[in-house]
Amino acid sequence: MLSITLDKDSVRSGTNPPDTLTGTLRAQDADGIDSVWLQLDDDPSIGEDGLLQTAFHSPFRVVVPAGFDPGVRLPVKLEARDVAGFRSALDTSVRVAQ
């Protein structure tokens, strides 16, 4: 099971200081969680070690890149791998506000 809770559904792009997307990641697997990754748009993924726990819960904070026009939807991808190597993914998005 994967879930992501976003603290807001829209972000600003190109502001000074840059806007951030924050929220909470959750992953659960009876075999144990090996790794969890979060990716905003095409930026490099940020990852955390699941420490082989059956339940993973962690807040996250990602800087929103500059250069996006208002109204654009930025993809947000959460991916997790269990100790057996099985991967699961969850996709959502946030809107760039005025």
Amino acid making up residue 79 = E
Please give the backbone phi and psi of residue 72, each rounded to the nearest 5 degrees, phi first.
-70, 140
- At residue 73, the pLDDT reads 96
CA atoms of 12 and 66, how far apart (whole Å): 8
Beta strand pairing call for 20-28 and 2-6: antiparallel
* 64, 19 contact by CB (below 8 A): yes
pLDDT, position 75: 97
Question: pTM of the prediction?
Answer: 0.88
* Strand 10-11 versus strand 87-96 pairing type: parallel
Per-residue pLDDT of the chain (98 residues), as tens digits, is 999 999 999 999 988 888 999 999 999 999 999 999 999 999 999 999 999 999 999 999 999 989 999 999 999 999 999 999 999 999 999 999 97
